[in-house]
Amino acid sequence: MQLRLIGTGGTIASRSTPAGRVASVGVKELLETALVFPVPERARVTCDEIGLRASFALGLPDLAHLAGAVGQSLAEGADGVVITHGTDSMEETAFALALVHDDDRPIVLTGAQRPADDPAADGPRNLAAALTWAAHPAARRHGVSAVFDGAVWPAIGLRKTDTLAPAAFGAPGRGPLARVDDGRVRLIGRPPRPAALISADDLGRLPRVDVVPLYVGCDTALLDAAVAAGARGVVLCAFGAGNAPPEVTEAVGRLVADGIAVAVASRVPIGATSAAYGAGGGADLLRAGAVFASDLSPWQLRLLLAAALHRTAGQGPAGAAEATRTWLTDAGHQTG
């Protein structure tokens, strides 16, 4: 069993300085600290350092570079890949990798809420659990997942649910895939896994898609600004199950007619979107040409819509909407 461990930085690799926490711990040192916890003896781990950065500083070219490193690791014969990563954007990186990963071998992300020099650092145990899961036969065909505080979460639907607590992640509305405790894996569920939508190289050239929040008293200013800045798609972080003020809904109809794709997520942490209300609500948004994308966070939906636009270049908003719905249906998500 050959595992590749890829380090990208984040809190798990950080130490405290007078100027704040800074990523400075190499991935080989992280591995040494993890080996005090149970890790499968049959797993041979090789390391690859591709960055020491906070995840809030990453961009799409960085995700493309990481996806390329993952692909190279698999091409060289790795049976699985584990990635240490910052928690701030882990849900987006995990989802981006799920959009491009089309192999049975597992990709597993993990990190930490406390820096490496904290007396109660959580990184070593999280990394040991991630290696244990990656080496387990059941991890195959799961695609991309994240291991944190003993829980294994699917990449699709992953969210950071607590800013500071060790149990930082969840998949609201779903349960974990498995639990990892003291080197033992307890399986819980296996959701459907969709095929890759784009290639790893495509991540670096996705079209611009912006997220626009909706709130009491909002108008179309942010929507108009996104389009003026060159966005080819917009995700509405909408009220409730997917509703918008009538003025915004009217603008959505104009944008779709002009070739701008619009997708709808909810600003509510748990629950799916639903095109149920008229008078400017979800039913009118659907009629205006917006696509409702289940219960993905706005941040993951942004990546999915951008990938769908790239995949269906030249087919307009309708093509991107259909690609979005199809991919989510294959992932076991009900769409509007």
Quote the pLDDT of residue 214: 97
Strands 20-23 and 14-17: antiparallel
Residues in the chain with pLDDT values less than 70: 334-336
Tell me the two tokens of residue 178: 């498995």
Tell me the two tokens of residue 66: 């990481």
Quote the pLDDT of residue 336: 57
Read off the pLDDT of residues 257-316 as tens digits, 9 standing for 90 and up.
Answer: 999 999 999 999 999 999 999 988 999 999 999 999 888 999 999 999 999 999 999 999
Residue 68 parent element (H or E): helix 60-75
| Alpha-carbon distances of 72 from 7, 132, 270, rounded to whole Å | 15, 22, 36
Q: Is residue 220 among the annotated active site residues?
A: no
Quote the pLDDT of residue 155: 97
Q: How far apart are CA 184 and CA 166, in angstroms?
A: 20
Residue type, 31: L
For residue 170, how many other CB atoms are within 10 A of its CB?
20
| Alpha-carbon distances of 298 from 218, 294, 320, rounded to whole Å | 18, 11, 16
Residue matched to tokens 């996806």: 67
Tell me the two tokens of residue 60: 């799409």
Could you say which DSSP state residue 204 is in?
G
Considering the candidates 8, 11, 87, 132, report the single residue annotated as catalytic: 11
Tell me the two tokens of residue 71: 């692909």
Q: How far apart are CA 121 and CA 127, in angstroms?
A: 11
235, 209 Cβ separation under 8 angstroms: yes
Q: How far apart are CA 132 and CA 183, in angstroms?
A: 6
Could you say which DSSP state residue 280 is in?
T
